[in-house]
Amino acid sequence: MRQTGGVSELVTRELLGPVEVRELAGRLGIRPTHTPGQNFVHAPNTIRRIVREAELEPDEQVLEVGPGLGSLSLGLLAAGCRLTAIEIDGRLAEQLPATVARHQPAAASRLKVIEADAMAVRELPDPQPTALVANLPYNVSVPVLLNLLAALPSLRHGLVMVQLEVADRLAAPPGSKSYGIPSAKLAWYGPARRVGVVPRSVFWPVPNVESGLVRFSRTAPPDTTADRGQVFAVIDAAFAQRRKTLRAALAGWAGSAGAAERILIEAGVDPTARGETLDVAAFARIAAARPVG
């Protein structure tokens, strides 16, 4: 392992390549399909890129979700990180320490594996992770990401690989075509941007979609008297009928269209606007303007 600045340069022999990925899957009796989320990265250069784009500090405590066969896990450990990996599949959770011991024996003590559903995680044992770096299961990527940010306030930043269309949604600014519920809810925690596209060819088997990398950081939420749940309820209502004006879209949430209009005016929001034009701070003002009781 060679040092280049803050994070170690990864050496190919420390990582899994195409042959190792197929051999390991065969030994475990795993037969992946083309369904997104059942694909394994087998390209060491892509792993290097993900670790580099995550902008991790040396010795940082990192959380990985869905480590699978361990391609990204090995990359993170080779970079000097301490890693907590959450894996729902018992076979994969049991195998990961052995894979690390085989490829990077000196890093074995820096790995902790938890067999669990990331959607159900409410807390983790110490030490608490400060970064999330993961190839998220594509069918549940957004709810997993939002759950972990809500449950683990120690997470300060992260990089996730998701389906390219989802990456665009997560990083979309207000007023853009892709802006919606995922964009606004992730913005509650802080800014996000898409930092790259990952080609299909680096996965086995090759999926039917391209992937994207989204980097995010946690900042203070909007200054509001409303809590996260109240703000998210406004976001859900505003986008449930995307093409309607906010006066109409929020009628059910407010109790009537007239009540919605009064709340919107109190919040300084045009009742004829649509949800796709508002940033998260505006949604927070709306939530705070709703009368109590």
List the domains of the chain with CATH numbers: 2-217 (3.40.50.150), 228-289 (1.10.8.100)
Beta bridge partner(s), residue 198 = 211
In angstroms, the CA 44 to CA 14 distance is 9
Over the stretch 199-246, which tens digit does the pLDDT of each residue have?
A: 999 999 888 899 999 999 999 999 999 999 999 999 999 999 888 999
Asked whether the CA dihedral 285, 290, 291, 293 is positive or negative, the reply is negative
Over the stretch 40-92, which tens digit does the pLDDT of each residue have?
A: 999 999 999 999 999 999 899 999 999 999 999 999 999 999 999 999 999 99
Write out the two tokens for 157: 């930043």
Name the pTM for this structure: 0.92
Write out the two tokens for 82: 């301490």
